[in-house]
Copies of this chain bind each other. A is one copy, B any other.
């Protein structure tokens, strides 16, 4: 099997509403599920308040630390939409209203509707390329390895379709899940660690679950070789079977 390099991503989810408990983020999982099949592993995510210094510093640090960075939120027309300025500041770039972004907005808004607030959505860091927004037209943009997307999930999802071709993925990570009810995580732990040790490159997690009537565990194994994962699956199934006999 050819060894391919690991390509990583960091995600910055921006907005006070995500930290107050008012809004439940779903963009992280959506982006992670988009990137997995492209061979990009999400290594860290941060949920940030609408604070310019924090956003700027986090963009800078993630851009250096990961192959790709995604930001969501803060690119609308209102006063608390400060992400574009923070991206420009992170890279010491200028920022100005751009004709290509205005043209995208003109697909949606008449000249009368294109007021000063909406024109803010055409302010793009120098040198960034636009990311198409098929849902509500106001574009996202790519600045070096940073993709800046909308926060509204439907719009964010639409923008992802204009990102696939910009990604140079690496090794894909595959995953198998084995679910078992009525066995104890602590009874499985020692042998589970031994299985993981026997299969270098495979990581195994165990995740207890509950509902009103049942409790159980999902065993999840992840790795780059699907054939090896099938072997691991058989080992985990044998472990479960032995625990049930005990």
Contacts and interface: CB of A to CB of B under 8 A. Distances in A.
Contacts of A18: 28, 45
A173 B22 CA distance: 13
B32 A19 contact: yes
A111 to B, nearest CB: 13
Contacts of A36: 20-21
B190 A17 contact: no
A118 interface: yes
For A17, A121, A154, A207, the residue with the greatest tally of chain B CB atoms inside 10 Å of its CB is: A207
A109 B186 CA distance: 10
A186 B113 contact: yes
Given A44-B49, A49-B43, A192 B78 contact: yes
What is the copy number of this chain in the assembly? 2
B44 A21 contact: no
Contact of A21 (B22, B33, B207): B33
A19 B44 contact: yes
A115 B175 contact: no
A212 to B, nearest CB: 11
B48 A19 contact: no
Interface in A83-131: 109, 113, 115-118, 120-121
Given A20-B222, A33-B21, A80-B204, A186 B118 contact: yes
A37 to B, nearest CB: 11
Contact of A193 (B30, B46, B79, B113): B79
Given A16-B222, A24-B29, A43-B19, A77 B186 contact: yes
A43 B209 CA distance: 29
B46 A45 contact: yes
A189 to B, nearest CB: 3
